[in-house]
Amino acid sequence: MSGLFCDGIISYGVTEQEQLFLEHCFYFPTLRTIPNNTHATYCFTVKEDQYPRLMNRGTKVLERPLRFTLDGTLLVECQGENGLYITRRFYPTSAQKCFVEQITLSSSTDQTLTLSLPSYTCHTIGRGTKGVYLAEISHTANDMIELKAGESYTFGVFYSARIANEERILPDARSELDKRMKRVEELCDDALVFRSGIEELDTMTRFAKLRAAESIFETLSGKFHSPGGRAYYAAIWCNDQIEYAGPHFAMTADTTAIDASFNAYKAYIPFMSESYHRLPSSIIAEGLDIWEGAGDRGDAAMYLYGASLFCLYLGDEQIAKELYPAIKWCAEYCERKKSPEGVICSDTDELEGRFPTDGYANLSTSCLCYGGLLFAAKLAHSLGDIGNADLYTHRAANLKNAIEEYFGHTLHGYETYRYSKGFETLRAWICLPLCMGLDARAAGTLDAMLSPYLWTEEGMLTCEISSENQSNTIWDRSTLYGIKSAFIAGAGDRIMPFFLAYCRKRLLGERVPYAVEAYPEGSMRHLSGESALFVRIITEGIFGIVPESLTSFSFVPQLPKGIPFLKLSSLHICGSCFEINIDAQGWTVSCEGVSIAQGANMNERIVIQKP
């Protein structure tokens, strides 16, 4: 859970002795450590044996968990001894370097309970880039808590950090809870409200919207959306922020998220010169440094695709004009990286060489460039730049043919795509052509994706297990792209059981309740960008939404087998708010509460013009 200046990861559960288990890890993105690299975020961990425990006349109070509730906060309800009932609610502050635990004690015994809590502890480290950092655990409980029958007592525990010369100012726990729940409501109930009648799918979508947009931090360069997950704070990437999150945020109308995305797109512009040197993979340390250790990952193709989509979805002509020169630069960069075979060259893809790559040309970069050129052409046309609109359309047509010639291949009998020339193993990125509308090999690709070579209980293997590759690693990002690709290809009935199984696994499994980064790498970190990709399965996959211009979009009404209805309200696109309803009788579209289109025809692309 994240606020603008803090991020908290709460590990919770039940011990073998049926007692409460808690461990906390808190990160403070603006407190940079030395050296100030990608991972230089100050943090402190509160282990089980360090956790401030309630004492009853000098003896630790044992707590037996009754219920854990996730609602944008973590609520833990426990039964203590002698009629004591304890609730703990964890949540970040909205704009302070502090995380809150609000505790309420209730008594149902006839005896007066006398309780206490140890005073705060302080942890220090050496100098960071901004001074010496202090981490503190403090609380507002009385020195002695006397609880009579039927009484309740509430206080706050605060996990905070500060620079040594800063005054320790504790927030108001109740006020911060109100702010947290208001933010949860803004993200979950006021934007892209999805209903399908399938509880796991609706709930997973709700959680994904929260995780996607809460991981935004105030930095020296303004608000930055960052992946989080114990590793990546106050920094942006061309895949996570530019390609994944930005297009999603454009459809939410959430000003904080849109501001963070706009900052991310602008942050790369100073690196776009006439020398056409590659973009950095990441802009780190509050925007003060870069990381490009993986070389060219196809970052310009990621930017071309993500920024064009962001502008079209947002429908803001002024922002589009401001970002359009950067989009044109990326299109030209990709053109200059075109191989003699007509595909786009890059050193690696976003997995940065974790899996074999020939360092010449890969399927991911060429597909992202192709999709980016199509959307850049639509944007150029909307802005009156007909010459470049035609040019990008022509380049996309040529790249489409080159992708088929260079990457189209038969693997294990499936008519699908190879990752690169000479590669004879199936890779998860075979889904990307389908995501970009390249459907010549749709049937074989879907069969290959869902075959035992790639599909597992956790999702798609990044690469099939073979004599050359013994890794069983899965990355949710490619699994989510794969699920979306099946919906786009019209295979909603076929993919829906796999999608619902994924939802149950992530929402109700061992690591809950969000999409994860990877496994076993990263221990299933809950990075934020994957949750944005999840929501895009709903918008771009199930509803088939595609921007057509700054003032129009299209969608494909479909109702996958077993889904009673589909409703997407508070869809912000083309600068207006739309609602789409689909059921067995047909579909309707309204804008700003007024019905503007309806029909009974299904599985056909419908173009909607902003009134």
d(CA 180, CA 184): 6
d(CA 42, CA 159): 13
d(CA 117, CA 447): 59
Alpha helices in 144-214 (DSSP H): 173-189, 199-214
Q: What is the pLDDT of residues 255-289, one digit of tens each?
A: 999 999 999 999 999 999 999 999 999 999 999 99
User: pTM for this structure?
Assistant: 0.97
Write down the residue that tokens 């099946």 correspond to: 486
Question: What's the mean pLDDT in 563-579?
Answer: 97
Contacts of 276 (CB under 8 A, 6+ apart): 329, 332, 333, 336
Percent of the chain with pLDDT over 70: 100
Q: What are phi and psi of 76, to 5 degrees?
A: -115, 120
d(CA 262, CA 302): 15
Q: What's the pLDDT score for residue 122?
A: 77
d(CA 235, CA 257): 15
Q: What is the pLDDT of residues 229-263, one digit of tens each?
A: 999 999 999 999 999 999 999 999 999 999 999 99
Write down the residue that tokens 């970040």 correspond to: 92
Per DSSP, 44 falls in state E
Of the candidates 293, 412, 425, the residue with the CA atom closest to the CA atom of residue 347: 293
Q: What's the pLDDT score for residue 469?
A: 81
d(CA 268, CA 235): 12
In the chain the domains, ranked by start, together with CATH numbers, are 7-180 (no CATH), 190-555 (1.50.10.10)
Contacts of 270 (CB under 8 A, 6+ apart): none
d(CA 51, CA 433): 50
Question: What's the mean pLDDT in 48-73?
Answer: 90
DSSP H or E stretch at residue 25: strand 20-32
Contacts of 118 (CB under 8 A, 6+ apart): 52, 53, 55
d(CA 475, CA 479): 7
DSSP H or E stretch at residue 257: helix 255-267
d(CA 24, CA 8): 7
Q: What are phi and psi of 304, to 5 degrees?
A: -55, -45
Q: What is the pLDDT of residues 3-40, one digit of tens each?
A: 999 999 999 999 999 999 999 999 999 999 999 999 99
Give the lowest-confidence range in 86-95, 101-110, 214-223. Answer: 101-110
Please give the structure tokens belonging to residue 141. Answer: 């409980």
Please give the structure tokens belonging to residue 160. Answer: 């905070």
Q: What are phi and psi of 103, to 5 degrees?
A: -115, 135
Sequence-ordered strand ranges (E) for 331-476: 408-411, 414-417, 455-456, 459-460, 474-475
Q: Is 77 helix (H, G, I), strand (E, B) or coil?
A: strand
Distance of CA 600 to the CA centre of its chain: 34
Mean pLDDT, the chain, whole residue set:
96
DSSP string, 124-156: EEEEETTEEEEEEEEE---SSEEE-TT-EEEEE
pLDDT band for 471, please (50, 70, 90 cuts).
Answer: confident
pLDDT band for 194, please (50, 70, 90 cuts).
Answer: very high
Q: What's the pLDDT score for residue 267?
A: 98
Q: What is the pLDDT of residues 304-324, one digit of tens each?
A: 999 999 999 999 999 999 999
d(CA 332, CA 352): 23
Per DSSP, 565 falls in state -
